[in-house]
Structure 1
Amino acid sequence: MDEDKSEFEDVLPCADKLAFDTKKEAQATATTAQYQNGAEVKPYKCSYCHLWHLSTNYDV
Structure 2
Amino acid sequence: MNEETLPCSEKLAFSTSKEAKAAATVAYYQHGTKLKVYLCKHCGLWHLSSE
Q: Which consecutive residues of structure 2, in runs of 5 or more, have no partner in the other structure?
A: none
Which protein is richer in helix relative to its size?
2
Q: Which has the larger radius of gyration?
A: 1
Q: Matched residues, percent identical?
A: 56
Letter in 2 for 1:31: T
TM-score by length of 2: 0.93
Asked if 1:25 is matched to 2:39, the reply is no
Give the match's secondary structure for 1:53: strand
Aligned-residue RMSD, C-alpha: 0.8
The correspondence for 2:48, drawn from 45, 54, 58, is 54
Aligned residue-pair number: 50
Q: Which runs of 4+ in 1 moved over 4 A?
A: none
